[in-house]
Amino acid sequence: MLDIKKIRGDFPILNKKILNNKDLIYLDTAASAQKPKVVIDEINSFYSNNYANVSRGVHTLSVESTFKYEDARKKVQKFINADSEREIIFTKSATESINLIANSFASKYINEGDEIILTVMEHHSNIIPWFLIRDKYKCKILFANIDSTGNIDQKHFESLISEKTKLVSITHLSNVFGTIVNQEIINMCNNAGIPILLDGCQSASHIPIDVKTLGCDYFVFSGHKLYAPTGVGVFYGKENLIEELPPYQGGGGMIADVSIDGATFTDLPAKFEAGTPPLVEAYGLGVAIDYVNELGMSEISEHEFRLTNYALDKMQDLDFVDIHGANENKHSIISFNIKNVHSHEVSSFLDVEGIAIRAGHHCCQPLMKHLSLNSTARLSFGMYNTEDEVDIFINALKKCRDFFTK
């Protein structure tokens, strides 16, 4: 069992008072996680004691910085159980990670008439990069439906797979429903020999990740949802696959040799890391991973799963609340609406009670259109949340309903 009281003491922001001197109840970790003091302090220490550019100079600070940066890469490799640190590319965000693979993969493998499969519940960051590829290469983007439980409609997904399918790119854990992709979907792709990218933005902070057991070819996630600083994302690709891919961006650090006639490119992972990388942020991600590992990813996952079910139990007793998607297979994320009250009103009302939740379309407009919803409210859990906070949240929902519907 996690010592939540001790964990809460590690997060300075949880001492903050909101608006009416209310204790902060942070239920928006799916948008971004709060940072433990050790991450904040280590970033400060890096800049104060070790900072210089990486992989360039030969002086002491450059060596120290490079060591810290590459050490973070090893931590990420172990965290997702990748085979080699050559498979771990640091980017500025998960969004950039998807743009990287979209551009690099398409320039080598996508031709007119080819097909890429997504689902209607993807985040815009796993839709728009593919739309841009479609416009450039005249390929087709197919969207698998979801069923009423908030899971992929497997029959429909299977029906979309054909010899034209070049890539499948889907969310691992839905940022709206909190549902985790069925392993059978991944197996289907593996059996058909179609490369599959999992968007792990939500999953990486809520469930243990093992890219080999999952059987995905590519995996992306962002640091800031995993208690690390903003400005760093991860792109993972199987070594034999990404070795064949051309660079995504050109710049310093990714070349073997340059002359006025052209250039040759360096080896993995630097081939995909043009320019000065987010080195301090990557180091911060390594520190966050250490922090998470010390507590245990499985323990964190169990705690959040328990909280999710505790909240679901209480919410389904409220007849004025609609929960989106089935209660089963939900992890850490619950989207809902109060009947006849816009999610903005819910969020502003709860804000004044000290409670931070997300309201809006969650960067999932195709899904909102599919559900015929304008927007939803969403609560999401992090390692620091408690059952007491859920109780206060439930009570605030009742007050909110009373205020707006009287």
Partner 1 sequence: MNDLIKELYQEIILDHGQSPRNFGECDPHNKSADGHNPLCGDNLKLTFYINNEDVIEDIKFTGEGCAISLASASLMTEKLKGKKIDIAEEIFSDFTNLVSGSSEDLKVLNEEDSLYALKGVGGFPMRVKCATMAWHAFKSALKS
Q: Where do contacts with partner 1 occur on this chain (CB under 8 A)?
A: 19-20, 342-345, 348-349, 351-352, 359-361, 365, 368, 374-375, 399, 403-404
CA distances in angstroms from 333 to 95, 329, 363, 366, listed in the order given: 20, 10, 15, 19
Neighbours of 322 (CB within 10 A): 14
Cβ closer to partner 1: 220 or 359? 359
- Give the nearer residue to partner 1 in terms of CB position, either 279 or 396: 396
Distances (CA, A) of 176 to 308, 330, 403: 14, 10, 26
Instruction: Write b or e for each residue in 265-298: b if 16 or more Cβ atoms lie within 10 A of its Cβ, otherwise e.
Output: bbebbbbbbbeebbbbbbbbbbbbbebbeebebe
| Least distance between partner 1 and beta carbon 352 (Å) | 5
Encoding tokens for residue 328? 């089963």
In the complex, minimum distance from the CB of residue 19 to partner 1, in angstroms, rounded to a whole number: 6
Q: How many residues does the chain have?
A: 406
Instruction: Tell me the closest approach of the beta carbon of residue 206 to partner 1, in angstroms.
Output: 25
Within 8 A by CB and 6+ apart from 317, the residues are: none
* Tokens matching residue 389: 């906070």
| Under 8 Å between Cβ of 140 and 113 | yes
Which one, 228 or 396, has the nearer CB to partner 1? Answer: 396
Asked if residues 186 and 214 have their Cβ atoms less than 8 Å apart, the reply is yes
Q: Cβ distance 269 to 88 under 8 Å?
A: yes
Considering the complex, state which of residue 276 and residue 405 has its C-beta at the smaller distance from partner 1. 405
Q: Catalytic amino acids?
A: 363
Q: How far apart are CA 269 and CA 55, in angstroms?
A: 12
Give the nearer residue to partner 1 in terms of CB position, either 303 or 362.
Answer: 362
Shortest CB 362 distance to partner 1, Å: 10
Which C-beta is closer to partner 1: that of 80 or that of 346? 346
How far is it, in rounded angstroms, from Cα 208 to Cα 237?
18
CB of 324 to partner 1, least distance (A): 15
DSSP state of 271: G
Query: CB 375 → partner 1: shortest distance, Å?
Result: 5
- Angstrom CA distances, 39 to 74, 96, 114, 139, 165, stand at 17, 23, 44, 43, 42
Identity of the residue, 111 or 348, whose beta carbon is nearer to partner 1 in the bound complex = 348
| 269/49 Cα distance (integer angstroms) | 26
Residue type, 29: T
- 81, 40, 58: which is closest to 224 by C-alpha? 40
196 φ, ψ to 5°? Answer: -130, 130
